Structure 1
Amino acid sequence: MLADILVGPILRRLTSQQLVLWWLSPFECSGEIRCYLNDKKNAIFIAALNSTNLTTFRVGEKAVVHLLDVSINFPVETYIEYDLLLTNPLEVKDNTRGLVDHVPHLIFGDCNRPSFIIQETITNLLHGSCRNPHHASQDSLIAGDRLVEKNLTDVEKRPALLMMSGDQIYADHVAGVTLYAIHQVITLLGLNDESFTDSNLAQQGITCGNELYQSRDQYFQRELLLPKSTSTATWFRSTFLKSTKQQNIFTSTYAHNHVMTFAENMAMYFLVWSQTLWQHVELEGFNVPGKYQAIHQQELAAIKNFVSGLHKVQRLLAHIPTYMIFDDHDVTDDWNLTAAWEQAAYQDPLAKRIIGNSLFAYWLCQGWGNDPKQFEGDFWREADLYQQQFETVQPASPQQENGLKGKFLEGSNQQDKFIDYLLKFSHWQYTLDSQPKLVVLDSRTRRWRSEHALDEPSGLMDWEALCELQQELIGHESILLVSPAPIFGVKIIEAIQRIATIAGQPLAVDAENWMAHPGAASTLLNIFKHPKTPQHFVILSGDVHYSFVYDVELRFRHHSPHIWQITSSGIKNQFPQPLITIFDRMNSWFYGPYSPLNLFTKRRSMRIKGRKLMLSTDAQGERPAGTQAKAEKLKLGHQRLQPKSGLGYLELNDDGSPHLIADLHCDGSRTVFIESNEELVP
């Protein structure tokens, strides 16, 4: 029997005037939301769930996404508990139950309900990216759960929000055991099927999602099913050899289990945010090709460890307002990296469908809750047309099953129509009117394509989008700017990416950084130089699988704005060692303060200093062997790049400048980024 709440609730947008909750249930819920001042028994707010505040989207026979958007008028900096009293319409008797009955592990200690504190002035926050379920590292969201538990009622120390800056799922890098679990969840919840009428799959006899899931060569061999394009591989090949070759459109090295259907994407979201559905699936019992047996065993162990901590992740997401934005792996590796990639991907029906399915799932599971008002009107009408085609498809009896395939095939065009709408949609970015103002960038769908060659990296935002960004910044003294990719990155790595681009292989090294495109780089740097833009910029980024902090100022200016590039990545991922240590040292050697190479960078008008690292442990964390003290601080020499998985933690001063910058680790330790007088990367 399925639980009444399968995933969530996840606390999304939260202000003194608005409360947004997201969750998944096997049915359309009714009931009410109640809020309580502190932990008192009498509610200060009660609202029935109805069509004015609750929107549902059915994605399967037993899977309904709920978004509750409630208008409130609550005091700020006050501990408030909340509860959802839900009624199962499929049961005859009165069965209204609260969250503690539905999800007991959602509650901290002796509390009666989950809670929140509205903090319109942001004094501290959590942030991070890159959460790969089967990576061998620990899930650092658990460190965030520990911090919230420790400061549950403390209005000054409890984090104001969690910013997830990309790669919340890895649609292009899926463990075999995860894909196997995904297919079981699709069957368990009866997730919507789809057809492939004009694609490579149809030519191979796979006409719908259910047939794809039954394919014999299903696991670790999906790259054989993914679309290819015939194009010039490199500038050298097209100019001198006059030849073309079949290339993979989806370039991820790990595409062996790439998710393809809308149902697979949705099931993956459900599995990375909740432990509940894992209790209904088997982890073994599928065919693993011999050469992948060792990898499978490693992934299996990592997934078991990942699942064991999901109850804490679910608890964290219920207690802290969580904002999200996509990066490449939420859809696919190299998503819109070059104009040539876009041309190949969107001209192929299957590739376009795969991209669209991931973006569809992103909207439902991530984008929708960031700012629900952005998706009203035309957007919702287009989405609802997709949903309507399944309203009469749900089987009333086993005898009707045979008629379903024709029904969803008949309505499949609506999925393509909505995907067309999604791919043209240009309002994924959003803001939060906090202090400092939070501005979250879409650096994926509004690209500035190269003027020189189709296979050169596109700018991360086009001129129009950058102009809109500048308007958002004017009039504010301080800004929290969320850019999934670092604006000021590690120069030696960007140089390697540039060399690969010149060699015609930008996709091989993910050559996407803000400085890769001259137009985008120049426009962005001019925004920082503009006299009316804020004096304090804190840039939060991820993407790169290591962490670092740069202090940035303009050269030759007496009143330069202060810019802090704070990169925390990954939540559950790491850059390979010892490679990251080598890059760290090379960056200091080649781009030190007196290097002539600095004159050739686009950032030569900037003075950029890299912060040193200090590993700090306390009484709650694991201390080095032989250490008897309750606290230990270990300076990590000249190291600037932090390779260990962690969750970013930031404390701000009253003027919006950073007071403390750190990464939190699951063992209770933290890496603190301390200021240095040594200039690193002009």
Structure 2
Amino acid sequence: MEVGEDGVTTTATLIETTKNEAPTVQFGKNLWIAVVTAEIGAVSLQAGKIYSYNLLIDDKQEVAVKGNLRTEGFLTDADTPVPQKALGYKSNILPSFAIPAEKPQDLFIAQASCRKMHGQGDDALAYLDSVLESYSKETSPQIKNRPQQLLLTGDQIYADDVAGILLRFAGTQGDTSRVGEETIAIRVDTTSKTEELSAEHVTFPPYLRQHVINTYAGFTSGAAGCHLMSFEEFAGVYLNSWSLRSWNEDFYRRINEILKEPTKAKIASVAKDLLEGTGTLDDPNFLSLMKDVDNLMGEAKKYVYHEKLTEILKGSPSSEKYTKWLDKIKNTLERELKEVANFAKVLPQVSRVMANVPCYMIFDDHEITDDWNLTQRWRNQVYSKPLGRDIIRNGLMAYAVFQDWGNVPSEYKAIEETGEDTTTLTERTRFLRLTAEYCDRVATQTGLDTLRSEVIGPMETLLGMGSEASKVKWHYNFPTGPVQTYVLNTRTSREYPSLNASPGLIPADELKLQLPEVLPNPEAPFVMVVSPVPVLGLASFEELIQPAAAAVVGIKDSEGSEVGVIAGEIEFDLESWAFNVPAFERLIERLNTYKKVLLLSGDVHFGSTAVLDYWKGTDAAPSGRILQLTSSASKNAWMENLAFFKSAIIQKIFTGIGADLEKVGWKGKVLSVTGKVSIRNRHRLRQDLAVIPTAGWQTGAKVNVEPDYRWRLRFLADERERPDEHIKTDIIPTNQESLKTGYQKVVQRHQDTFISGVSRRLIWPSNVSKITFEEDGTSWKVHHEFFFRKGNRKPAERTVGAHIKHVASLKAMGDETKRPQLV
């Protein structure tokens, strides 16, 4: 079916494909995966039209087709065995999609990041389902009213921070294992023997993995009590995150109890049953898993149970330590159950979004572990440990299968073809085939004695876990209507100035691979670039607060143990682009060659929009403009209960007290300075790459050479007038009535901001953003809108909508063209 932009249904046309068949590939005992690609023949897909599709499932042993989306129940709403939404938004209508429009003014790009099943807040991806549903009801639908691409910019799963109930059930479908019995390797030190232990929730119970993860894997995550370890666990979490159909029946039954009766009493009852209820050897309760120190754990107990935990579990159940420990587990489980139920409630809507919008993804750190490749010390600490390498490898195997394979299917060939020249295979293909070989040996329990030498070893080499750099390059690019979108890999090819210093997220040689010097279409109106970590971060936070905090926080925890850079959790991540000046300036310089750039990012757990103008040499006008569009988190609201972070005062502090951040820089110059200059700026000016802010430059001080470049960064606010907002009032200090009414309105405005969760600059609730374009003379205005629920206090009264809109032109105008100066 084709639906024109005017909404008129035209004659159905079957688009012939040159390749429309894909065999399923086995990745374990009960895990079969197919990536179906349709290579279009003579008739190409056209922008401005809607295309529907079907999926035919057959059995090679028989001629007849065995099923399709209709026969499998995907085209109708259903309540059992799990809820299902009709993928076509109407009964027996196929799902559909639109390719991005050819004109920017007709584009609708959506972006989101940071989606944790038990994270706080709503699952904002479900809001896009409401948009698509509204579109399907329009009598004259326009293409620009439906999402044409969805970009997921990182942390699609949280491998380190997993709900206990998800860890308990993710690896099984019914009573059967998805992949098979896997092992992980643990070595106490470089001189001791490596032990192979079963990698599942009985050997390593939920809530008890923190010690083994920090001590024997070397990870620094502070929320690793349920950290994923095996490929089966990673695969199960991916499946459970996108479709209710993949959920273990017992898992869904328990969550459904809460969905039917969402009360504190019911949540407490389900938690108590999971924790302390009658369990069997095949289905032990959480407490029996955690307490059976001597019998159930076998040889793994010496790695799981540290001294304090052993003392608690072997003590009397009525002891104070035991009671506190049990209460903590119970409270955690209850919080997780509440949020997992909220997640499950709208998961059918999210699945429907994925079926109707072309989607591209990239990892950030949580797909593997928090702080992944944070510093050189972290890498040395983790990659020297077999368990650290095993977990990272399993995570990347799952990422390749469940995310990246769909991004660039042409670089993956899972099945060997007759007469194939193996010397021409891509590194992605080599890695995928090794993954399949690993899963086959695990599923059949054959060839295990050579699994590490013949399969795991080559995989580690491909991933750069030894002395060589990673051979698998995870970056990629694709067309978005009239422009090209480049997705950056900022995790696996970093540069490290020293053991503990902030890394350069992309080295110089790698930057040339990820962002080409010459664009395929130099006349394109702009370029889109995805960086999981925002390139343009909060000005004052990065310039002042975070570096200072990272320098002093994390030496000792509340109990006096060493943490931070020394050991344990690194509280303040040192991986903002701005923390490594050479890498940041190098990236900005490359982006400036594209003239007009949209950066799409997540990671930071708030939404925002920033703009940077760039001047080269002594040019009077800026040579390029970069917009930073950040959307985070889709389900993992940050510090929801810390009201002061949402106040307008803190918002202004975080964004430079409403001012611009300006810097000037010199490359490879010997500089001399006259006049009074701060010690910090003198030190900066001695660097090969000398970059200093204009703020704080003392009057009369001069540098003997003009800067090689300059830039100005500012954060945008929603400038629309709000009818429900208390009008701002000038306060006249000498007028008593003005003081009284003015301050009352100021207080009321701040209170309203906190209650609603809606500010003008930063978006704290769970959100997904919409990017659209408007003609602006010879350039374009970018509209960055955020979908989220308005209001924190009463969920029943919350409303969904684009309550924040940031608007910026891709061309500097007026005062924006005045270049930064040292005065």
State TM-score, norm by structure 2: 0.66
Alignment of 1:201-212 (within 5 A): 207-209=196-198, 212=200
Which residue does 2:629 correspond to in 1?
Answer: 566
In the alignment, structure 1 residue 249 sits paired with structure 2 residue 370: no
CA contact (8 A) 2:173 2:248 kept: no
The corresponding residue for 2:210 is 223
Amino acid across the alignment from 1:324: M
CA distance in 2, matches of 1:70, 1:265: 28
Residue 420 of structure 1 corresponds to: 461
The answer to whether residue 203 in structure 2 is matched with residue 80 in structure 1 is no
What amino acid maps onto 1:574 in structure 2?
A: A
Displacement after TM superposition at 1:89 (Å):
6.3
1:540 paired residue among 577, 600, 603: 600
- Equivalent residue, structure 1, for 2:242: 273
In structure 1, how many angstroms separate the alpha carbons of the residues matched to 2:386 and 2:441? 27
TM-score by length of 1: 0.79
Alignment of 1:35-434 (within 5 A): 44-45=14-15, 53-54=21-22, 56-72=24-40, 73-87=44-58, 95-99=66-70, 101-103=72-74, 104=76, 105=85, 106-110=87-91, 112-121=93-102, 123-152=107-136, 154-185=142-173, 188-197=176-185, 199=187, 207-209=196-198, 212-215=200-203, 218-228=205-215, 249-278=218-247, 280-282=249-251, 283=254, 285=274, 286-288=285-287, 290=326, 291-376=328-413, 377-379=425-427, 380-388=429-437, 391=440, 405=445, 407-413=447-453, 414-423=455-464, 424-434=470-480
Q: Which amino acid aligns with 1:642?
A: I
Contact between 2:411 and 2:426, CA under 8 Å: does it hold in 1?
A: no
The alpha-carbon distance between structure 1 residues 69 and 94, as it changes in their structure 2 partners (threshold 3 A), is closer
The one-letter code matched in structure 2 to 1:586 is I
Partner in structure 2 of residue 587 of structure 1: 654
Which is worse superposed, 414-423 or 541-550? 414-423
- Indicate the SS of the match to 1:95: strand
Amino acid of the structure 2 residue aligned with 1:254 = A
Contact 2:48 2:143 in 1 (8 A): yes
Change (3 A) 1:183 1:617: farther
Shift in alpha-carbon separation, 1:186–1:385, aligned structure 2, 3 A: farther
Summarize the Cα distance change of 1:310–1:408 in structure 2 as closer, same or farther, 3 Å threshold. Answer: farther
- Name the SS of the counterpart of 1:228 in structure 2: helix
Contact 1:613 1:671 (8 Å CA) reproduced:
no
- Superposition CA RMSD, Å: 3.6
Deviations 1:262-307 (A, max 9, x none): 1100000000000112262334633156121111101101101101
Cα gap change, 1:171/1:198 in structure 2, threshold over 3 Å: closer, same or farther? closer
What does the per-residue CA deviation read over 1:139-184, in whole Å, with 9 as the maximum and x for residues that have no partner?
0000011112222453222122000000000001101111112143
**1:135 touches 1:573 (CA, 8 Å); kept in 2?**
yes
Contact kept, 8 Å, 1:547 with 1:569, in 2: the verdict is yes
Give ranges in structure 1 of 5+ residues lacking alignment: 1-34, 230-247, 395-403, 619-633
1:523 alignment partner, one of 586, 607, 620: 586
- The more displaced of 638-647 and 87-96 is 87-96
* Greater displacement, 459-468 / 296-305: 459-468
1:114 & 1:372 partners in 2: Cα distance? Answer: 21
Q: From the superposition, tell whether residues 111 and 658 of structure 1 become closer, same or farther in structure 2 (CA, over 3 Å).
A: farther
Q: 1:636 to 1:417 in 2, by over 3 A?
A: closer
Q: Is it true that 1:482 corresponds to 2:530 in the alignment?
A: yes
> Is 2:804 aligned against 1:672?
yes
Query: Within 1, Cα distance between the matches of 2:764 and 2:693?
Result: 25
Corresponding residue number in structure 1 for 2:612? 552
Distance 2:385 2:347 in 1: 37
Aligned-partner Cα distance in 2 for 1:42–1:637: 45
CA contact (8 A) 1:539 1:564 kept: yes
Alpha-carbon distance between aligned partners in 1 of 2:150 and 2:484, rounded to the nearest angstrom: 15
**SS of the residue aligned with 1:269?**
helix
When residues 349 and 603 of structure 1 are mapped into structure 2, their CA distance, relative to the original with a 3 A threshold, is: farther
Q: Deviations over 1:491-533 (max 9, x none)?
A: 233233312444485632111111111220221232244xxx2
Any idea what SS the aligned residue of 2:56 has? Answer: strand
The structure-2 alpha-carbon separation of the partners of 1:353 and 1:636, relative to structure 1 and needing over 3 Å to count, comes to closer
Identity of aligned residues (%): 24
Distance 1:84 1:594 in 2: 52
Aligned mates of 1:298, 1:223 — CA distance in 2: 19
Query: Which deviates more, 586-595 or 287-296?
Result: 586-595
SS of 1:417's equivalent? helix
Offset from partner CA, 1:40-74 (integer Å, 9 cap, x none): 89651355977xx5254312222111111221122
**Alignment check: 8 A CA contact 1:183 1:213 kept:** no
Distance 1:656 1:213, change over 3 A: farther
2:715 maps to which residue?
610
CA shift, 1:185, in A, is 3.7
Shift of 1:381: 3.8
Task: Specify the code of the residue in structure 1 equivalent to 2:35.
Answer: L
Alpha carbons of structure 1 residues 277 and 487: separation in structure 2 relative to 1, 3 Å: same
Rounded Cα–Cα distance in structure 1 between residues aligned with 2:224 and 2:244? 25
Distance in 2 of aligned mates of 1:438 and 1:171: 27
Q: Does the 8 Å CA contact 1:477/1:534 hold for their aligned counterparts?
A: no
Q: CA deviation at 1:425?
A: 2.9
Comparing 137-146 with 179-188, greater Cα deviation is found at 179-188
One-letter code aligned to 1:671: H
Is the CA contact 1:481–1:539 (under 8 Å) kept in the aligned structure 2?
yes
Contact 2:373 / 2:491 at 8 angstroms: preserved in 1? yes
**Candidates 534, 559, 573, aligned match of 1:510:** 573
| Secondary structure at the counterpart of residue 397 of structure 2 | helix
- Structure 2: which amino acid aligns with 1:673? K
Q: Displacement of 1:569 after TM fit?
A: 0.4
Partner of residue 23, structure 1: none
**Residue 652 (1) aligns with residue 773 (2):** yes
Q: Is the 8 A contact 2:784 2:807 kept in 1?
A: no
> 1:124·1:651 contact (CA, 8 Å) conserved in 2?
yes
| SS of alignment partner, residue 329 of structure 1 | coil
- Change beyond 3 A, Cα 1:657–1:254: farther
Task: Tell me, in whole angstroms, the C-alpha distance in 2 between the residues paired with 1:544 and 1:473.
Answer: 31
Between the aligned partners of 1:657 and 1:37, the Cα distance in structure 2 is 28
Residue ranges of structure 2 left out of the alignment (5+ in a row):
77-84, 255-269, 275-284, 288-324, 414-424, 465-469, 556-563, 664-677, 685-690, 695-709, 724-754, 790-798, 809-813
For the 8 Å contact 2:214–2:220, the answer to whether it is kept is no
1-side partners of 2:159 and 2:655: how far apart?
Answer: 35
> What amino acid is aligned across from residue 309 of structure 1 in structure 2?
V
Q: For residue 481 of structure 1, give the secondary structure of its aligned residue in structure 2.
A: strand
Task: Tell me, yes or no, if the aligned pair for 1:165 and 1:483 is still in contact at 8 Å.
Answer: yes
Letter of the 1:547 counterpart: G
Which structure: larger Rg?
Answer: 2
Measured at CA, do residues 389 and 674 of structure 1 come closer, stay the same or move farther in structure 2, by a change above 3 Å?
Answer: closer
- CA displacement at 1:422 relative to structure 2: 3.2
